[in-house]
């Protein structure tokens, strides 16, 4: 058989592609598995992954339909039911955020397949109304952060306690912990688990704080670092 000039026949051998399931329940389960695999690829801890899997499954079950069919009214309904059940605003926020993340994953990775199989073009149902009105009722505008003057007064009070406390150690410890929280941006538990060998005033221009029990470490021994300001380094080394 003569070939058209300029073209040539090459051997095939492409691996057969498994057909994608058109069952929405099965397909969504496959999407959830792929979403979870992306968490592993991004290095999330096993504890975080286990917690988020459960949260995502509860959210999808409460919505009662495939994620690509969820509407803004569905989000309103679920968040409203959580509020009626007395669930905290932070819990309601977690439900909305986990769904929003999953939906964003579908838009990025699965949009073409979903439109081809189910005829649905993905549009995220989480908007400023169901995200802020229902979930964000603990708005920062209601509880503004303390002013610099107020913070200075707080630390002056802690200093005065050191001078008058019956036991120097606990008062100095409290001052150091609150200063660390303020300047290094640590969580309270991360700060409470620090030990003297974790503080290195001589490393780098600002000193280094070795946080061995960071939120994402999962006891792995991997440390996250936070840097003191020069001011706090000098204050702690001088006063403690």
pLDDT tens profile 129-160: 876 554 444 444 556 778 889 989 999 998 88
Query: Same structural domain for residues 124 and 210?
Result: no
Number of domains observed in the structure of the chain: 2
Q: How far apart are CA 38 and CA 47, in angstroms?
A: 15
The three state secondary structure string of the chain is CCCCCCCCCCCCCCCCCCCCCCCHHHHHHHHHHHHHHHHHHCCCCHHHHHHHHHHHHHHHHHHCCCHHHCCHHHHHHHHHHHHHCCCCHHHHHHHHHHHHHHHHHHHHHCHHHHHHHHCCCCCCCCCHHHHHCCCCCCCCCCCCCCCHHHHHHHHHHHHHHHHHCCCHHHHHHHHHHHHHHHHHCCCHHHHHCCCHHHEECCCCCCCEEEECCCCCCCCCCCCEEECCCHHHHHHHHHHC
- pLDDT tens readout for residues 87-107: 988 889 899 999 999 999 999
Domain boundary among 132, 156, 180: 132
**Does residue 83 form part of some domain?**
yes
Last residue of a domain, one of 63, 98, 132: 132
pLDDT, the chain, mean: 78
pTM over 0.75: no
On the question of pLDDT at 182 being above 60, the answer is yes
- Assigned domain for 140 exists: no
The residue ranking higher by pLDDT, 204 or 156, is: 156
Domain boundary among 104, 132, 160: 132
Same domain, 60 and 98: yes
Of residues 75 and 170, the one with the higher pLDDT is 75
Residue 5 lies in a domain: no
Q: Containing domain of residue 55, as a range? A: 24-132
Say which CATH number the domain at 175 has: 1.10.443.10
Grade residue 6 by pLDDT with cuts at 50, 70 and 90. Answer: low
Say whether both 109 and 193 belong to one domain: no
Domain co-membership, 29 together with 117: yes
Please check whether residues 52 and 90 belong to one and the same domain. yes
For residues 86 and 11, the answer to whether their CB atoms sit within 8 Å is no
Q: Across the strands, what pairs with 225? A: 210
| 153 and 191 assigned to the same domain | yes
Are 188 and 226 in the same domain?
A: yes
Whether residue 37 sits in one domain with residue 121: yes
What is the average per-residue pLDDT within 217-235?
44
CATH number for the domain that contains residue 100: 1.10.150
């Amino acid at each position: 058989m003569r070939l058209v000039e300029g073209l040539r026949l090459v051997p095939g051998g492409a691996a057969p592609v498994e057909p994608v399931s058109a069952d929405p329940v099965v397909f969504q389960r496959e999407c959830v598995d792929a979403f979870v695999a992306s968490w592993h690829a991004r290095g999330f801890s096993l504890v975080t992954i286990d917690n988020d899997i459960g949260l995502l499954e509860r959210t999808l079950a409460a919505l009662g339909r495939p994620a690509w069919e969820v509407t803004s009214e569905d989000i309103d309904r679920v968040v409203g039911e959580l509020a009626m059940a007395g669930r905290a605003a932070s819990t309601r926020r977690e439900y909305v955020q986990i769904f929003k993340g999953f939906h964003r994953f579908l838009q990025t990775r699965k949009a073409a397949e979903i439109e081809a199989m189910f005829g649905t073009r993905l549009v995220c149902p989480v908007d400023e109304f169901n995200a802020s009105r229902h979930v964000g009722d603990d708005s920062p505008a209601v509880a503004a952060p303390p002013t610099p003057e107020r913070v200075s007064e707080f630390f002056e009070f802690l200093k005065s306690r050191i001078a008058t406390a019956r036991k120097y150690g606990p008062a100095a410890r409290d001052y150091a912990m609150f200063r660390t929280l303020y300047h290094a941006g640590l969580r309270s538990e991360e700060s409470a688990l620090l030990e003297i060998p974790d503080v290195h005033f001589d490393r780098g221009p600002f000193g280094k704080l070795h946080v061995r029990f960071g939120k994402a470490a999962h006891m792995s021994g991997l440390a996250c670092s936070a840097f003191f300001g020069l001011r706090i380094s000098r204050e702690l080394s001088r006063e403690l």
